[in-house]
Amino acid sequence: MTEPPREPAPPASAPASGRFLLVACQPGSEDAVFLSQEHFLPDATRAAWRRGVVTFRLPFGTDFPADGLPFARTVVDSLGQVTGNTPAELAAAAVDRVAAAVTCVHVWQRLPVQRREPQTSDASEALPSAAEVHQAIVERLDLDNTPTGSESVAGRVANDGEKVLDLVIDSPGRAWLGWHVARTPASRWPGGIYPNTLPEDAVSRAWLKLDEALAAFEVPIRSGQRAVELGASPGGASQRLLSLGLHVVGIDPAEIDPRVADHPRFEHWKMRARDVRLRQLRDFEWLVTDMNIDPASTMDALERVATAGGRTLKGIIATLKLPQWKRAADLPGWLGRFETWGFRPHARQLSCGGREVCVVARRGS
Ligand SMILES: C[S@@+](CC[C@H](N)C(=O)[O-])C[C@H]1O[C@@H](n2cnc3c(N)ncnc32)[C@H](O)[C@@H]1O
């Protein structure tokens, strides 16, 4: 086994000049963030990084597009690091540094406690709880201090246009500070982490993934529309679509959970995607896919259906599984293919997803 690369030490304080972006990402996906930055934000240069957090320096005057980095959970303007041994000390240090008036506070642990790196120093030192630090900051700022959040992530969903103070708890006694203006759905969620939870009766986690995709991309799905899903077993995503009033065809050689299979608006075509006759796929508004195969094969399956699907097809919601994070380098090419089929693609690595990227593409140029 090869040793993981050593993380360079983070800067101790805010830069004297220039703009630094702090990007929160799924721990382990940093290479994907770097690869996509080379394509989507070529003017940026890499600064410090740690698992779950990457920073970039941007030249003055460079605009940062709202959905500019597909592997970022959230992107904020970095103000460097703050230190403090208690939630109250961290809160004091953070509030002292933030000049702009903020009305909302998001706090999250860089590595949620259960996935934390082995401690090299004092293993008994615990990370401060996000909820406690959040509480201390909102009290100092005299904001609504209704308790909200958990050990690992805290804060309310920001309103559109609201200025947010961001604090990423890095290690015991140290945190990264930043701020952003909430503009996109995901930028309103603390840490860009989807705040909904999986319902108890959901047949798989794909229920929540699809729910997050619909929210993050504001997909205009309507009751009564028809969807086809390639790779539907056991049925969580189809179950979410059914709950929204859609008619759903699930294509998968594997079994569908009876709670979905028996639904009056659901049909199971028990076959592989390539065995479906294209003329059977003419009347659908939405094409959904979540197949556990190489993303190049998923793209071929999508192309076959999307280019033959007829004019009723309004959009595609695709999960592209990445066998390794380095396949993120292929993303620009995949997005280009959606465009050649007549769809406008946007990509995001969902906070509920694993090593994969979600592409939502709506018809139109
Ligand atoms: C991650 S699971 C899908 C989860 C599902 N979307 C849900 O909501 O529960 C991947 C599925 O892709 C299916 N699959 C793999 N290759 C396929 C193919 N060529 N055609 C159709 N389904 C395929 C597998 O049988 C498996 O059930």
Q: What is the DSSP string of 95-164?
A: HHH--S--SEEEEEESS-GGGPPPPSS-TT--PPPHHHHHHHHHHHHT--------SSEE-PPPPTT-EE
Helix (H, G, I), strand (E, B) or coil at 357: strand
Give residue 8's pLDDT: 37
Specify the residue with its C-alpha closest to ligand 1, atom 19: 272
Cα of 313 vs centre of ligand 1, distance in Å, is 21
Ligand 1 and 236: CB distance under 6 A: yes
Tell me whether residue 90 is in a domain. Answer: yes
- The whole-model pTM stands at 0.92
Cα of 290 vs centre of ligand 1, distance in Å, is 6
Ligand 1 and 288: CB distance under 6 A: no
Cα of 255 vs centre of ligand 1, distance in Å, is 10
Residues 211, 354 share a domain:
yes
Average pLDDT over residues 8-24: 60
Looking at the predicted structure, is the pLDDT value of residue 278 above 80?
Answer: yes
Please count the structural domains in the chain. 2
Tell me whether residue 135 is in a domain. Answer: yes
Give residue 125's pLDDT: 62
Residues 158, 271 share a domain:
no
Ligand 1 and 353: CB distance under 6 A: no
CATH number reported for the structural domain that contains residue 316 in this entry: 3.40.50.150
CA gap 238, 213 in Å, rounded: 13
Question: Quick one: how far is CA 222 from the chain centroid?
Answer: 23
Helix (H, G, I), strand (E, B) or coil at 340: helix
Looking at the predicted structure, is the pLDDT value of residue 241 above 60?
Answer: yes
Ligand 1 and 237: CB distance under 6 A: yes
The boundaries of the domain holding residue 228 are 206-363
Residues 121, 71 share a domain:
yes
Cis-peptide into 59, omega within 30 deg: no
Residues 268, 163 share a domain:
no
Please, where are the H alpha helices in 262-322? Answer: 295-306
Residues 246, 139 share a domain:
no
Residues 223, 114 share a domain:
no
Residues 98, 29 share a domain:
yes
Tell me whether residue 63 is in a domain. Answer: yes
Cβ proximity of 128 and 87 under 8 Å = yes
Residues 315, 271 share a domain:
yes
pLDDT band at 285 (very low <50, low <70, confident <90, very high): very high
pLDDT band at 147 (very low <50, low <70, confident <90, very high): confident
Residues 144, 269 share a domain:
no
CATH number reported for the structural domain that contains residue 172 in this entry: 3.30.2130.30
Mean pLDDT check: name the lowest of 112-116, 156-160, 243-247, 308-312.
Answer: 112-116
Kindly compute the dihedral angle of the four CA atoms of residues 330, 331, 332, 336, in this order, to the nearest 10 degrees.
Answer: 100
Ligand 1 and 340: CB distance under 6 A: no
Q: Which of ligand 1's atoms lies nearest the C-alpha of 288?
A: 6
Please, where are the H alpha helices in the chain? Answer: 30-40, 87-97, 130-141, 185-188, 206-216, 236-243, 258-261, 295-306, 331-340
Tell me whether residue 10 is in a domain. Answer: no
The residue assigned the tokens 């103000």 is 79
Give residue 5's pLDDT: 36
Cβ proximity of 173 and 85 under 8 Å = yes
Q: Which of ligand 1's atoms lies nearest the C-alpha of 204?
A: 9
Average pLDDT over residues 244-260: 98
Ligand 1 and 251: CB distance under 6 A: yes
Ligand 1 and 228: CB distance under 6 A: no
Ligand 1 and 235: CB distance under 6 A: yes
Tell me whether residue 198 is in a domain. Answer: no
Ligand 1 and 252: CB distance under 6 A: yes
pLDDT band at 18 (very low <50, low <70, confident <90, very high): low
Of 192, 215, 233, the residue at which a domain comes to its end is 192
Q: What is the pLDDT of residues 330-356, one digit of tens each?
A: 999 999 999 999 999 999 999 999 999
Looking at the predicted structure, is the pLDDT value of residue 6 above 70?
Answer: no
Say if residue 223 is exposed, middle or buried (CB neighbours under 10 Å; 0-12, 13-18, 19+). exposed
Which of 205, 233, 305 has most ligand 1 atoms within 8 Å of its beta carbon, as the pocket-test mutant? 233
Residue whose C-alpha is closest to residue 49's, from 9, 78, 93: 9
pLDDT band at 67 (very low <50, low <70, confident <90, very high): low
Q: Which of ligand 1's atoms lies nearest the C-alpha of 254?
A: 25
Mean pLDDT of all residues belonging to the chain = 90
Residues 32, 172 share a domain:
yes
Residues 317, 238 share a domain:
yes
Of 164, 192, 220, the residue at which a domain comes to its end is 192
Mean pLDDT check: name the lowest of 41-50, 82-91, 235-244, 284-293.
Answer: 41-50
Give residue 16's pLDDT: 46
Ligand 1 and 272: CB distance under 6 A: yes
Tell me whether residue 14 is in a domain. Answer: no
Of 139, 158, 192, the residue at which a domain comes to its end is 192
Give residue 365's pLDDT: 66
Tell me whether residue 11 is in a domain. Answer: no
What percentage of the chain exceeds 70 in pLDDT?
90
Average pLDDT over residues 79-106: 93
Q: What is the pLDDT of residues 30-54, one digit of tens each?
A: 999 999 998 888 889 999 899 999 9
Average pLDDT over residues 156-169: 96
Tell me whether residue 6 is in a domain. Answer: no
Ligand 1 and 233: CB distance under 6 A: yes
Specify the residue with its C-alpha closest to ligand 1, atom 18: 272
Q: Which residues on adjacent β-strands are paired with residue 289?
A: 230, 318
Residue whose C-alpha is closest to residue 188's, from 66, 22, 91, 37: 66
CA gap 8, 31 in Å, rounded: 14
Ligand 1 and 250: CB distance under 6 A: no
Residues 233, 356 share a domain:
yes
